[in-house]
Structure 1
Amino acid sequence: MAQQSLTGELAAFSAELSFTLDPFQQQSCESLQSGHSVLVCAPTGAGKTVVGEFAVHLALAAGGKCFYTTPIKALSNQKYADLVERYGRDTVGLLTGDQSLNPAAPVVVMTTEVLRNMLYASSDALIGLSYVVMDEVHYLADRFRGAVWEEVILHLPPDVRLVSLSATVSNAEEFGAWMETVRGDTAVIVDETRPVPLWQHVLVGRRLFDLFDQHSSDQKVMVDKELVRYIEHRETADRMNGWGGGPRHRGGGGPRRDGRSVPRPEMLSRLDEAGLLPAITFIFSRAGCDGALAQCLRSRLDLSRTEDFDEVDAIIEKHTGDLPRADLEVLGYWDWREALHRGLAAHHAGMLPAFRHTVEELFVRGLVRAVFATETLALGINMPARTVVLERLVKFNGESHAELTPGEYTQLTGRAGRRGIDVEGHAVVVWHPDVDTSAVAGLASTRTYPLRSSFRPGYNMSINLIDRMGAEQSRELLERSFAQFQADRSVVGLVRGIERNEGQMRKLRSQIGDDSVLEYLSLRDRLKQRERDLERQGRADRRGASVASLSTLRRGDVVAIPAGRRQGLAVILEPDATPGDPRPLVLTEDKWAGRVSAADFPTPAQPLGRMRLPRHVDHRTARARSDLASALRDTGLIAPGRQRRGARAKAADDRELMTLRRAVRSHPAHGRPDREQLARTGERYTRLQRETESLRRQVATTTNSLARTFDRIVALLADRGYVADGEVTADGRRLARIYTEADLVVAECLRQGRWRGLGPAELAAVVSILVYESRSEGGILGATGPTAPIRRAVADTIAVWGELRTDEARFKLEPTREPDLGFVTGIHKWARGDGLAESLLASGDQGNALSAGDFVRWCRQVIDLLDQIHNTADDVEVAATAAKAVRAIRRGVVAVDAA
C-alpha cells in the first residue's frame, strides 16, 4: 500500500517516522485505528513494536491511557527509554519489581506481572485505560511464567483494546481464534517475510559453504553438492590419518573433540575476512561462553579499532562506575574489560547485570564485534548481529541433551541481519563429525513453532479469582483459557477417533455373529494375555536372578558365558556390585577383555572354579590377555551346555493358565471350521475396543480439566481456612497478595508465626529456601543454617511444606516445589554485611560457588519476597524485619544497575 493512502491518526503517526511502514505494519495499525484488537505475528526484527507504539499514539490522542507490557525488566527499561525519547519523561512511566517512575503517567511501561497484580487488586490506575500492548506475547508458552499472560488477557476490561505482538508461530490462527472468543473482535496479521534475507552456511574448518544448493531446479530442499563432496573427502582423509573416523554419534554429546574443530579465534578471523562480523556465537552453557572468551583472550585476536577506546571506556564507566572497587577482582573485571577493548564479550545470565548491560550497549553501537552467548539472548534482548553462529545443534533442556527444534533454530538465527544496516543476514553452523547437513537443512527450512499454553490454576490465582468473581464464575473463566481451548480442540480429534472405531467395531461384530462366539474369542484373548504376562514375568525373574548372581562374583571366579559372541569360559578381573546393573570386567578364553552385564547371562552366573590372578592385571595389553587366556584354558574347567527353564516350565505350574486352556478347548465354538478366521476378526475387534477405551479416558481427563484442578485447589484452601462458605477469609486475602511459587507455604508460615524472633539477615536466609533453586539436583538436602534461629526457622518452614505436600497428595494436586537450602549461608553473610567474595563462596550447591550474576539475581528474588512479606504480614515485628532485610541486601553489586 502506498504511504499516501494513510488516513486519520495513522497519517499523523506515520509522518513522524523516518521510514515507510511495511504492509503488515500498515494493515495492523489500520485495524487498530478501526477499533479492533490485533494479534501481530512476525519474525524477529521485522518491526512489530511500531504497532505497539501506534497504540500509545492513539491513547494519547484520545486522552486515554496505554500500558506497554514486556516479559522482562531489561526489555521494560529499553522500551521506557525509547518512549521517553519520543514523548518526554512527563508522559511516560515505568513500573518493574525494582523501580517505580511516574506511575500516574498516561503511558506506563511495565512487566506483565505488574499488570496482573493491578488487575487482581482492582487498582485505580486501570481507570481510563484504553490500550494494552503485550510485547512478546508468545511467552505464555513459558512453563514457569506463561500463565501471567493468559490471566491478563482474561481479566482485562472488555473495552480495552489489546495489541499482542508475537514471534512467528505456526498456530497463529488458533491463537487468534481463542483471542476472538475471549476479547471480541481481533484482527490476526501474520507476516513471515524477514525484513533482511537470511543466508544459511556451514563452516568446515576454514572453508565457508552455502548450506543450500542455490542452482537446484528441484522443488525439494537440496544441500549444496560441493559441501557434501568436501565433507565426504574430509571424512575419508580423517579415517586414513587416524582421526577416529568411526560411525557418527547422533546422541547428546555435541562435537567430538577430534582435533580438527576450528579454534574460536580462527573462526572469528575467518568470519571477519568474509565481512560477516559482528557475530553472535550461541553456546548452550555459561561455562562454555566464558571458556570461548578465555580462548580468544589467550590468542592474538583483536577485533577493535584504536579510535574507539575512549568511547568503550566511557560506556564501561557509565555502567560499572558505582561498583565497589574492592569487588572488581572478585568479579573478573580486568579480564572482562580487556576483552571489551579487543571487541570481544560473553553474554549470559550468570554475569553481573551491569556487565551484561555494558555488553549490550557496546554491541548495539558496533564497539564489540563478537559475542559468545547462551540462548537467553535470543529471547527479546535487542542485540541483532550480521551473523549468528551455532557451534552445536544439541542443548541440555533441563533433563537431557536434546536436538534443537526448528522453532529454536529459527529463534536463534532470527538475530542475524540488522534492519537498516545489513543487506542480508547470515546463519553459520560449525561442522564437526557429528553434524548431519541434511538435518541442518531440515531445521533451516522448517517453520514450525507452535504456541502451547502453560496456563494452570495455582493457589494465588484461585484465591484472587474467587475474591473477584466467586467460584462458579471463576470456573467459567478457566474454561475460557487458551489451555482449555487447545485441550477442547484436541478432544474434537479424539471424539472423531472414537466414532471411527465404533463404526469399524459394528462391522466386525456383525461378522463375528452371536454372543457365544464373542465369549469364546474373549477367552482366547485372555489366554494369550496370560501367556504374555508369564513370559514377561519369566524374563524379569531371569534378569533379576542374573543381576543377583553377577553382584556376588569375586575376583578370580571362573564362569561360563552361556550365549552370544562371548560364549565360553571367562575369569572375573574386577567385580562390580552396582545395584540393578552390575557389570564386572572379565577376560574370556578367546582373549577378549571387557565388561559383561545381565544381558549376557540368560541364566544366573555360577562360579565353576577359581583362578589365581597376579596382583596387577593390565588387560589392555595383548601379552597380558594372551597369557591369562592360556591360563584360563589350562584350568581344565568346561562350560556346561546351555540350560534354561523357560516360560513353558513356568506356565506348566500356573493354575489360571491351565483353567483358561481347558475353558477354550471345551467351548462349543472351538470346534468350528472357521475358528481361526473368527479369531483374526476377534483380534481386530479387541484391539479396536482397547484403543477406544483409551481414547475415552483421554477425553474424560481433558474435558474441563482446569476446572477440576481449580475445584481441588478450592477444597484444599477451604480445608485450611482460606475460603469459607465460598468467600475469601482474612487469611485468604493475605494469600491473594503473595506472588511466588511457594505462595501457600509463605502464607502458612506468616499465619503460624514461624518467622517471629528472627533478625533481618536471618529472615532473608530463611525465606531464601522458598525462592532459590539449585542448578543441579539437591533440593532440601543442603546446609541447615549458620545460626540456631535460622536452623529452627528452616526446620519449621520445611515442616509447613511437608504438611502441605501431604494435603496436596490427598487432594490429588501437583506438589509445591521442595525448599532449597543452597542460598541460606550466602544470603545470610551478604545481609549481615560480609564481602562479595565470602558471600559468593558460601552460596551455591555441591561445592560450586554461584556466579556474580546468579548471586545478584537470587538476592533480588529474595528482596521481592521480603517486600511481599513486609506488605502482607499482620505481625508488625516480622513486617519491620522484612523491610530492614531488604535494605541490608540492597547494597554493592545488588544495588548497581538494578534492571
Structure 2
Amino acid sequence: MTSSEAAGPWDDDTPWGPDAGAPITEGAVTEVVDRPRLREFTDRLSFSLDPFQRESCAALEDGHGVLVCAPTGAGKTIVGEFAVHLALQAGTKCFYTTPIKALSNQKYSDLVAVHGADSIGLLTGDSSINPYAPIVVMTTEVVRNMIYANSPALDGLSHVVMDEVHFLADRFRGAVWEEVILHLDPDVKLVSLSATVSNAEEFGDWIKTVRGDTTVVVDDHRPIPLWQHMMVGNRIFDLFDQRIRPGERPQVNGELTRYIKQREMVEDHQRAHSGRGARGRPQRGRPTGTISRPDLIARLDRDGLLPAIGFIFSRAGCEAALEQCVRSGLNLLEPDQAEQVAEVVARYTGEFSPSDREILRVDSWESGLRRGLAAHHAGMLPAFRHAVEELFVRGLVRAVFATETLALGINMPARSVVLERLVKFNGESHVDLTPGEFTQLTGRAGRRGIDVEGHAVVVWMPGLDPTRVAGLAGARTFPLRSSFAPEYNMAINLIGRLGLAGAKNLLERSFAQFQTDRSVVGQHRQIDKARVILRKIDTELVGRASGLGIDPGRLAPDEPVGDASAYDGFLGYMTLREDIRTRERDLKFHKRMTLQANTVDELFGLKRGHVIGLHGGRHRGLAVVIEPANDRRDPKPLVLCEDGWAGRVGVSDFLNPPEVVGNMRLPRQVDHRTGRGRRDLASSLRNTGLSVPKGRNTKRSPAADDGELADLRARLRAHPAHELSSHDELFRLAERRNRSLREITNLTSSVDTRTSTLSVTFDRIVAVLTELGYLLADVDAEGAPRMVVTESGSTLSRVYSESDLLICECIRAGVWDALTPPELAAVVSSVVYESRRDTYSGPDLVTGNPTLRETLSATHKQWRTLSALENRHGVGVTREPDAGFATAMYTWAAGRSLGEALAVAGERGRPLPAGDFVRWSRQVIDLLEQIRMSAGAEGRLARSAKSAVGCIKRGVVAVELG
C-alpha cells in the first residue's frame, strides 16, 4: 500500500511503510529466471502472475516445498494449481486437500473445467469420484486416514496442496493438519496455503524443521484495495479521515464521530419527551437509529455497491433478514435474469419429490432468488447452498445474508461486505469479533478482475464507538497457534506405525511443541534475570542486616523448609508473615465461595409467591418472587419489590443467601410489565405485614475461629525478629526477596508444565488404552520394553470420531450386535449428534421402541464406565452420547417420509432445518461405513451397518450424496 492510499482505501492486511506490498521470501531466488513448466502454465492463463505467485511457483519448479501466506482473495490457489500442473506433466500424483467438503467440491469442479474429468478425482467421505485419478481433491481427514492405513493410493505421490492450512489452529480439527505434515513421506513436496498470519516466519521455520527444504513467501498486499465505512441511519461515512498526511497513522473520521454524537443527543431528547422517560421500554426489533435491511440493500444498490454479503451470526437472523427484504417488495433482478434463476433452481431441485418440495418450501426459497436475494448458512439444504453459490458467482444473487461459514474459503467474493454486529455466539457465550475474524469476513469484499476496490460497511447502532471498529480494521496481529493434542485414535496409529518411542518423538516434532519450546526459551531468560535480581537483593539484605547486628548466616537463601527450623532467623520470620497473609486470604476466599454456593442454592430453591428481603444492590426492602429461576448454574428469579421495580436478581444482588420471610398469594397472571400492574402488586406486598429481616452479621472475620491461623500469629509475636519491625528498609528488602522467589517458582512451574503437557497427556492416554486392552505392554526380541497394538486396538485405529473409544467399547461389548439396520442407525447417531442448545438428551427421550431405548441406555452405561476411567487417569472425558437425533434417524431409516422425520427432529419445539438433517445423516453414514470396515465384513454388525447405510441413503440424502 502506498502512502497516498493511507488516506483512503484501508488495506486491512498491509503493514505501514514505503516497502509494504513487496513479498517477503526465504530460500527463493528473487530474480525469477525462465522455467519451462512455469512458462507452460502461464501461457494458458488469461492474466499475468503477481510477484508472490511467481516466486512461489518458481520455488516449486526448483523442487522446494512452499508456504504461501497472503490475504483472502490474493490468489494463493494459483500456486496449488501449478502443483497440479507439475504432477500431471511429470506423470506423478497430486492431492489437493481442503478443510471443508464444500470447498473440495468447488475445487474439484474448477480443476475438471481445466484438466477434464478423467484426470481429476474427488474423495470427501460422502463422495468418491474417480479416486485413482492422478489428481484427487479431498478433505484433509481423508489423506490423514490414507497415511495411517498405508494406502497404496500414496504410491507415486509427488505433491500435496494444503489449502487453508491455518485451519490447524481449529481446536476441534486442527490436529489433522499437523498429523499430515508430520507423516507425509519426506520426498512429497508440501504446498501450504495460508491466510495472513503475523507469525508466518515461525510457522515456516517449523515446516522447514520437519519437512526440510521449504520456501516461505509472505505477501501482505491486497490486490483490491479495501475501503472501510460505517452506515449511520441511511448515511454512509468513511471510517477513516481522508485528510491524513502521507505516512501518518489513520485517524477516525471526525465527521462520523460528530454525526453520531448529534444523533445520540437527538434520540435522548426524543426519548425524554416521548412519555416513556429515559428508562422506558425500547421498541422491539432493530434498535432506534438503525436502518431497515430492505432500505440498507436499496441504499447499497443506489450507490453501486452490490453484490453484497451481509454477515449475520445467526441462522435464524439470516432467514429473518431475507424474509424482511422479500416482504418489502425489494427486487434486484430484471425479468430475464429471474428466468435464468429459475433454470438453475430447476437443475438443483429437479430430483426432489413433490412432497419433499412442499416440506422444503422450495417455492418460497425460489421466490427470494428470483428477486436476487438469498440466505446462506449451514442449516440450509446443501442443494440450496450450492445453488446460491452458483447464482452469486453469476451475478444473479445480488444480496446474500450469510453466517461466517461463507468466509471459510468458499469462492463467493462480493463488491461489499456488511456487518450488522461485532458480536457473535461461539457456542457457549456471546463474544466480540477478533481482529482476525473481522479481517476474514471483510476480506470477501472486492472481486479480483471485476472491482477496482472493495467496501466493508459496519452498521452503527447506539453504543457502538467508531474507534472500536477502527481497532478491528487496523489490527495487524493474527498469530497462528497450534491446537495439536494426542487422542486415542492418534495414539494407536502412532504406536502402530512408529512404536512408543517413535510416537513420542513425533509429538516432540509437532508445531505445538515447537511453539512451546520457543516460549519456554523466553521464560528461561526471565528466570535467569529474576535470579540475578535475587542475588543482588541477598547481597543488599546481608549488608543491611549486618549493620543491625543480625547474623548474616541466618539470612541464607537455602534455609530448610518443612521442619522445625523453617521459621528460624529473620527470613523465617518473613516466611511466617507470608504464611499468615496466605492463610487469611484462603479463609476469606473459602467464606466467599461458601456464601456464593449457598446463595445459588437458596435462589434456585425460591418458589413463586415466596417473599424475601433485599439488603444490597439498587433495591432494598421486601420482594416477591413472580417467576422461579430455571438455570441452576446461574439462578435469576424474577421478583417485584415494594418500590414497584420488577426484574431478575442474581447472586451479585445478595451479600448473604436470601431468607424467605413469608408467602404471598399471587393471581394466575401477574401483570408486571405495566406501571399500573407493578404499583398494584407492590401495594399488596406492602400490605402483607411482613418485614425485612435484619441483615445477618457478616463482620466477624472467618479468621477468628481458625486454630492454624491463631498458632501462626502466636509464633510471629514470639519470634525474636518481631522486635525489628521498626526497621522498614530491612522488611522492604525481605519482601522484595520473597516476590522474586515467588516469580522464580511460578516461572519454573510454568516451564515444567508446558514442556511436558503433550508427553503427559500422551502417557495418560496410553495408560487408558493399556488398561482397556487396546495396547499390550511387551518386550521385543532383545528384551527391550515395547507396546503392541492388540486386535481391539486395530479396530480403534480405523475409527475416526470424537467418540472413537466409546464406539469401540460398544463394538467390543456387543452392545449393538442385535439391532436392526434402522435401530443401529439411530443408536450410532447418538455418538455423532450434538444438540445446539443446552437441552436434555438422555436415552429416555426415545419412546415407542423398547429395544432402541434399552440399547441407548446400554451405550450410556458404557460411556459412564469409560468416563470414570478417564477421570481416574486425568484424561479429558469423552462427550456424552446425545439421543436428540435418534428418533428422527430411526424414522428416516425405517422408510418414513422426510416430513415425519423432520417433525420429530427438533429441539425445544423448534423444527430441525433440512440442511442439518442431511448433514447429520451424512455423518451417521460416514461412521456406519467405518463400523462396517472395522467390525469384520462377515459379522452381523458389519452387515447391519451396510444395510443401515442403504436405508439412510435415499430421498434428499441420496440427492445430496450423488
- Give the alignment's TM-score, normalised by structure 2: 0.86
C-alpha change, 1:829 and 1:46, in structure 2 (3 Å) is same
Question: Which one of the candidate residues 650, 654, 665 is aligned to 2:706?
Answer: 654
C-alpha change, 1:660 and 1:167, in structure 2 (3 Å) is same
Partner residue in 2 for 1:453: 482
Partners of 2:260 and 2:205 in 1: how far apart?
Answer: 47
1:677 deviates by 2.7
C-alpha change, 1:243 and 1:367, in structure 2 (3 Å) is farther
Residues 795-842 of structure 1: CA distance to partner in whole angstroms, max 9, x if unpaired? 222222222112211221111111000111101111111111110111
Pair 1:733 & 2:794 matched:
yes
1:497 deviates by 2.2
Residues 412-452 of structure 1: CA distance to partner in whole angstroms, max 9, x if unpaired? 01110110001111100011103211000110111222211
CA contact (8 A) 1:92 1:106 kept: yes
SS of 1:704's equivalent in the other structure is: helix
Amino acid in the other structure paired with 1:478: L
Residues 756-789 of structure 1: CA distance to partner in whole angstroms, max 9, x if unpaired? 2211111101111111111112364251354222
1:636 deviates by 13
Question: Which one of the candidate residues 637, 646, 664 is aligned to 2:716?
Answer: 664
1:897 deviates by 3.3
Partners of 1:244 and 1:38 in 2: how far apart?
Answer: 65
Comparing 178-187 with 73-82, which one deviates more in the overlay?
Answer: 73-82
Question: Which one of the candidate residues 229, 249, 252 is aligned to 1:223?
Answer: 252
Pair 1:531 & 2:584 matched:
yes
1:861 deviates by 0.4
Question: Which one of the candidate residues 92, 115, 135 is aligned to 1:64?
Answer: 92
Partner residue in 1 for 2:417: 388
- Consecutive unaligned residues in structure 1, runs of 5 or more: none
1:397 deviates by 0.9
Question: Which one of the candidate residues 927, 931, 943 is aligned to 1:865?
Answer: 927
C-alpha change, 1:61 and 1:523, in structure 2 (3 Å) is same
Pair 1:837 & 2:837 matched:
no
Partners of 1:772 and 1:173 in 2: how far apart?
Answer: 39
CA contact (8 A) 2:141 2:176 kept: yes
Question: Which one of the candidate residues 441, 446, 454 is aligned to 1:425?
Answer: 454
C-alpha change, 1:661 and 1:880, in structure 2 (3 Å) is closer
C-alpha change, 1:119 and 1:215, in structure 2 (3 Å) is same
Partner residue in 2 for 1:769: 830
Question: Which one of the candidate residues 814, 817, 823 is aligned to 1:753?
Answer: 814
Partner residue in 2 for 1:352: 381
Partners of 1:712 and 1:401 in 2: how far apart?
Answer: 34
SS of 1:133's equivalent in the other structure is: strand
Partner residue in 2 for 1:80: 108
Pair 1:877 & 2:940 matched:
yes
Pair 1:680 & 2:732 matched:
yes
Pair 1:135 & 2:135 matched:
no
1:80 deviates by 1.7
Partner residue in 2 for 1:509: 538
Partner residue in 1 for 2:760: 708
Amino acid in the other structure paired with 1:90: D
CA contact (8 A) 2:232 2:289 kept: no
C-alpha change, 1:601 and 1:653, in structure 2 (3 Å) is same
Q: After TM superposition, list the pairs within 5 Å mapping 1:1-20 onto structure 2.
A: 5-20=33-48
C-alpha change, 1:727 and 1:592, in structure 2 (3 Å) is closer
Partners of 1:302 and 1:727 in 2: how far apart?
Answer: 67
Amino acid in the other structure paired with 2:851: P
Partners of 1:617 and 1:859 in 2: how far apart?
Answer: 46
Amino acid in the other structure paired with 1:437: P
Amino acid in the other structure paired with 2:868: T
C-alpha change, 1:721 and 1:611, in structure 2 (3 Å) is closer
C-alpha change, 1:184 and 1:878, in structure 2 (3 Å) is same
1:634 deviates by 13
- Consecutive unaligned residues in structure 2, runs of 5 or more: 1-21, 23-29, 543-553, 556-568, 779-786
Residues 18-54 of structure 1: CA distance to partner in whole angstroms, max 9, x if unpaired? 1111000001011111111000011111111111111
Partners of 1:156 and 1:9 in 2: how far apart?
Answer: 25
Partner residue in 1 for 2:427: 398
Partner residue in 1 for 2:512: 483
Residues 509-532 of structure 1: CA distance to partner in whole angstroms, max 9, x if unpaired? 333333311011111222223333
Partner residue in 1 for 2:300: 271
Amino acid in the other structure paired with 1:830: W
Partners of 2:930 and 2:726 in 1: how far apart?
Answer: 76
Partner residue in 2 for 1:898: 961
Question: Which one of the candidate residues 217, 230, 233 is aligned to 1:189?
Answer: 217
SS of 1:280's equivalent in the other structure is: strand
1:872 deviates by 1.7
1:602 deviates by 5.0
1:692 deviates by 2.4
CA contact (8 A) 1:248 1:434 kept: no
Partners of 1:159 and 1:554 in 2: how far apart?
Answer: 72
Pair 1:855 & 2:917 matched:
yes
Question: Which one of the candidate residues 163, 169, 177 is aligned to 1:149?
Answer: 177
SS of 2:117's equivalent in the other structure is: coil
1:666 deviates by 1.9
C-alpha change, 1:38 and 1:620, in structure 2 (3 Å) is same
C-alpha change, 1:630 and 1:402, in structure 2 (3 Å) is closer
1:254 deviates by 15
CA contact (8 A) 1:280 1:388 kept: yes
SS of 1:709's equivalent in the other structure is: helix
Number of residue pairs aligned between Structure 1 and Structure 2: 890
Partners of 2:168 and 2:803 in 1: how far apart?
Answer: 20
Partners of 1:157 and 1:684 in 2: how far apart?
Answer: 55
C-alpha change, 1:566 and 1:345, in structure 2 (3 Å) is closer
C-alpha change, 1:4 and 1:332, in structure 2 (3 Å) is same
CA contact (8 A) 2:122 2:129 kept: yes
Pair 1:171 & 2:199 matched:
yes
C-alpha change, 1:673 and 1:743, in structure 2 (3 Å) is closer
**Alpha carbon RMSD of aligned pairs, Å?**
3.4
SS of 1:371's equivalent in the other structure is: strand
C-alpha change, 1:114 and 1:528, in structure 2 (3 Å) is closer
1:611 deviates by 11
Comparing 688-697 with 538-547, which one deviates more in the overlay?
Answer: 538-547
Partner residue in 2 for 1:444: 473
Partners of 1:410 and 1:604 in 2: how far apart?
Answer: 47
Partners of 1:606 and 1:92 in 2: how far apart?
Answer: 72
Partner residue in 2 for 1:94: 122
Residues 694-740 of structure 1: CA distance to partner in whole angstroms, max 9, x if unpaired? 22222112113222222222222122222222121222112111111
1:17 deviates by 1.0
Amino acid in the other structure paired with 2:436: G
Partner residue in 2 for 1:519: 572
CA contact (8 A) 1:760 1:882 kept: yes
Partner residue in 1 for 2:950: 887
Residues 265-308 of structure 1: CA distance to partner in whole angstroms, max 9, x if unpaired? 11000000000000000000000000000111111100011122
Comparing 532-541 with 815-824, which one deviates more in the overlay?
Answer: 532-541
SS of 1:314's equivalent in the other structure is: helix
SS of 1:311's equivalent in the other structure is: helix
